[in-house]
Amino acid sequence: MVNKKNFSSPRLLELKRKRQKILRNKILIFFFLSVILFFGLSFATRFEKINIKNIEVIGNKVLEAEIIKNIVTKEMQNYYYFIVPKTSVLFYPKNQIERVLLNKFKRIKEISVEVKNEQILEIYLSERKAAYTWCGEDILTEEKITTKENCYFMSSDGYIFDKAPYFSGAVYFKFYGVGKIGSLFSPENFNNLISFKDSVTSMGLRPNTFNLKNDGDIELYLASNSSILNSPKILFKKDGNLIKITENLQSAISTDPLKTNLKDKYDTLLYIDLRFGNKIYYKFR
């Protein structure tokens, strides 16, 4: 008996060759169509009317528009795969532009990049507003007093974002402690510190500086005619109950003899120490 496979194998081989040929043709057609599409798209994206010609910056208050424009222009200088221009309104690097500007300028709070009227790229941004300053990890020493310290602006939520110019007076409330530009200062208790500062102000005192020490103590300095090292300060623990601390401070300064002493010789106050629960210590020169 003859094996049927011997009769059918030539036909199967021929069929297999035809299928391979069809597959090769499809691959070649797909390749050539892809090349045509790619170069056609490249040619089309070079038309002047669909390429960005101008850049507008909207919403900036402190940041210079020209500096931002130069950075954006640089990001759109080159081509994708040496063929498609990055100035194309269809393929401009929107996310890259936003990311570069946010990394470069910590002052920027929000940013949006959109194409307007096909050839104008608009950069919409909002800037953080300075509410306080952060002046480093360590409070002023005698050595620093003779030099200009480096301070950075902080927003109302404690975000450190930009170098501050030198101020001869107490223009902004100051913070000292561990921090870095582009991050939140002491995020775990910043809001509580601000609330405590506001409470102290409502008591008739004039706080102007927080110093968060590495040992867990916090010093709140009060305004005076002396240098910061010789100014009155309020001491308390970082992990203390600020509600209770506020109540104890209010009680202490409302009761004699501290009440009268603060009125008569405020400038000679050295400290009010609230680190020991209901026991309050204070000292005058």
| Each residue's pLDDT tens digit, 120-130 | 999 999 999 99
> For residues 37 and 102, which has the higher predicted lDDT (pLDDT)?
102
Q: Please, what are the domains in the chain?
A: 49-127 (3.10.20.310), 132-284 (3.40.50.11690)
Give the pLDDT mean for 191-206. 97
Q: What confidence category does residue 101 fall into, taking pLDDT thresholds of 50, 70 and 90?
A: very high
| Each residue's pLDDT tens digit, 119-155 | 899 999 999 999 999 999 988 665 455 567 889 999 9
CA distance 18 to 37: 28
User: Residue 141 has what pLDDT?
Assistant: 61
Lowest mean pLDDT among 7-21, 55-69, 75-89: 7-21
Q: Is 256 helix (H, G, I), strand (E, B) or coil?
A: coil
Comparing CA positions, the residue from 143, 147, 112, 125 lying closest to residue 62 is: 125
User: Residue 138 has what pLDDT?
Assistant: 85
- 2 pLDDT exceeds 60? no
- 167 pLDDT exceeds 60? yes
| Each residue's pLDDT tens digit, 72-87 | 999 999 988 778 889 9
Question: CB count, 10 Å around CB of 120?
Answer: 14
Question: CB count, 10 Å around CB of 87?
Answer: 22
Tokens 């920027």 locate to 108
| Bridge partner list, 281 | 273
